[in-house]
Amino acid sequence: MAFTYTDLVEVDLDKLGTAVSDWKKSVDALKTAAENARTGMQAKRPRVFGCRVLLSA
């Protein structure tokens, strides 16, 4: 199927704009979740300074 100039000029881009907006919201939410996970893990990380653990088999 070939597109004409008129087909391209009259194309409705509202759906594309909505899709882009939805993806941006999803990306922002994932970035926020990743940051919350990262800071949450850092807050719960055990603080061990200068300790050496010896394991014997």
Residues 19-49 pLDDT 10s: 999 999 999 999 999 998 888 766 666 666 6
Cα separation, 53 vs 46, in Å, equals: 14
Looking at residue 5, its pLDDT comes to 93
- Residue with tokens 């300790």, as numbered in its chain: 51
Looking at residue 48, its pLDDT comes to 61
Cα separation, 37 vs 51, in Å, equals: 27
Looking at residue 50, its pLDDT comes to 61
Put simply, whether the predicted model's pTM sits higher than 0.75 gets the answer: no
